[in-house]
Amino acid sequence: MNSSSFRPFSADNKRMMNKIRFRIALAVLVVFSGFFRSILVAAEPQARPTPVILEEISRLLAEYKYSDAIALFDNITPADADSSQIKLLKASVLNSAGNEGEARTLAEEVVKAEPNNLEALFVLSAIEGAAGRNKEQKALLEKIIKADPKNVEALTDLGTLSRNTNNNKLAAQYYDQALAIQPENLEALLGRARLYRLSRDPKNAENLLNRAITTYPDVALIWHERARLYRGANYPIQALSDLDKAKALAPDDYWIALDRGNVLLDLNRKELALQEYQRAINLNPQEFLAYAYTAGIKDDLGDFEGAGKDYETLAKLKPDYYYAFEGVGMHKMREGEWAQARDAFTEVYRQVPNEWYYALLASISAMKAGNQASPRQFLNQAMGKLKRDTMEYYMFRLFYDLSGRVYSGENDMLQRTDKETNVVVKARMVFYLANYFDIRGNNTLADKYFLQFKQMGQEALPEWRLNEWFLETRGIKPF
């Protein structure tokens, strides 16, 4: 796989949901910390006053130490712990930690006792959102807006919810309403800027992001978002500059490292891009995206062993990403590990059955694994999906006959290939003829067709990389 061919999906929704959870927990904490500090004067002395504990919880949340923060709630006095404020705060923290069940129980308890408590409705809406219950979240947010039309937090969450459900027009309206009330609201600025970017209005997107950076210069997410805008508008140098700032502010952010690698790759700085992708892997080795890039770059740089290992890791982490298995299959072919190559290409063909050549690569690998007849049934099934009188069908027929040690179709296939006018189809037929003759043991003809494929220059085909390796292995040096 070419290192620039994979363009991963956006991680905006996942990141935004995590940010919303965390934001709500901190927002509720700030409100309730002030509340308890105001009543501390009237309270009886205690070992650790509630406001002090809340401040400690705030510090732990800022460090994403959710378990430690949750444990501190046990130190709050029973009287304070039974208040709706503390229950909602704990629900928010539990939700941030991904403990939706306990969070929901606490929030619903408060809502049942105080059905018009807007803060309780808001916390519950966040819990619904984290659980993917969009309908329920929307109903709660709309109830808040009905009671308080200028509730900016609810408006921005409605905007984000609308955007995540592909209603960008409605999302824009909610964000605009929030900005009209609170022009410097970070959530609304980011959300509206993203919508401008998606609607190909880079100027308005840049204006909002510039405003956000002026107000919140230490928030890495804004620099990251503007970098994505610049990259999409083909300003990679400016994008890299913003990503440098984002990296300095959030050195442990996987997505910043990934996008910084993307921009360096756009600038053809492959070695530096590889370093950044590797940094992303070190930050989160269980996230699959960076491996897709490191494997491709290592291929380009000639580190075939490293590329093969990265494709294998990618296949384990993302088994529905068939390019990973393609990479595994190719590298196993290069290494002569034919049984593993067969299994990898069989999986690719299972995932994309319309791409006939994967079935042929699996069959070639099976034949080279030592049992020439082993793929006969597989070839017959794959051949049955092809239209007769196509070049692909006749090539499958040739290999099917080969698996039965019948060679009568050779001359017909050679003539058909010679007459083929579609250069891509012809190149593929040449490549598979080379493999056919290789399996037959006719090295002279195999060498001839491997070299001919090279001379046809179809570098975009997956078979190109294999052919390069086969030429090298066979000691063939093109003129």
**Could you list the pLDDT tens digit for every one of the 479 residues in the chain?**
443 333 333 344 444 444 444 444 444 454 455 444 444 444 444 557 888 888 888 888 777 788 888 898 888 888 888 888 888 988 988 888 888 899 999 999 999 999 999 999 999 999 999 888 999 999 999 999 999 999 999 999 999 999 999 999 999 999 999 999 999 999 999 999 999 999 999 999 999 999 999 999 999 999 999 999 999 999 999 999 999 999 999 999 999 999 999 999 999 999 999 999 999 999 999 999 999 999 999 999 999 999 999 999 999 999 999 999 999 999 999 999 999 999 999 999 999 999 999 999 999 999 999 877 789 999 999 999 999 999 999 999 999 999 877 777 889 999 999 999 999 999 999 999 999 999 999 999 999 999 999 999 999 999 999 999 999 999 988 65
| Cα–Cα distance measured from residue 431 to residue 211, given in angstroms and rounded to the nearest whole number | 57
Burial bucket for residue 387 (CB in 10 Å: 0-12, 13-18, 19+): exposed
| Cα–Cα distance measured from residue 174 to residue 273, given in angstroms and rounded to the nearest whole number | 38
- pLDDT at position 458 is 96
| Cα–Cα distance measured from residue 248 to residue 233, given in angstroms and rounded to the nearest whole number | 23
- pLDDT at position 85 is 87
Paired tokens of 40: 């501390």
Q: Does the pTM of the predicted model rise above 0.85?
A: no
- pLDDT at position 47 is 59
Is residue 179 a contact partner of residue 156, using CB atoms and an 8 Å limit? no
Q: Residues for the chain: how many in total?
A: 479
Is residue 302 a contact partner of residue 317, using CB atoms and an 8 Å limit? no
Paired tokens of 25: 């927990």
| Cα–Cα distance measured from residue 86 to residue 66, given in angstroms and rounded to the nearest whole number | 16
Burial bucket for residue 420 (CB in 10 Å: 0-12, 13-18, 19+): middle
Of 146, 154, 148, give the one whose Cα is nearest residue 128: 154
| Cα–Cα distance measured from residue 335 to residue 319, given in angstroms and rounded to the nearest whole number | 22
Of 436, 474, 467, give the one whose Cα is nearest residue 452: 467
Q: For the chain, count helices (H), then strands (E).
A: 27, 0
- pLDDT at position 479 is 59
Number of other CB atoms surrounding residue 204 within 10 Å: 14
| Cα–Cα distance measured from residue 302 to residue 465, given in angstroms and rounded to the nearest whole number | 11
Instruction: Report CA dihedral (56, 254, 247, 191) to the nearest 10 degrees.
Output: -80
**What SS3 state is found at 408?**
coil
Q: Tokens 């308005």 appear where?
A: 204
CA 142 to chain centre: 31
Number of other CB atoms surrounding residue 104 within 10 Å: 19
**What SS3 state is found at 303?**
coil
CA-CA distances (angstroms) from residue 167 to 174, 213, 439? 11, 27, 56
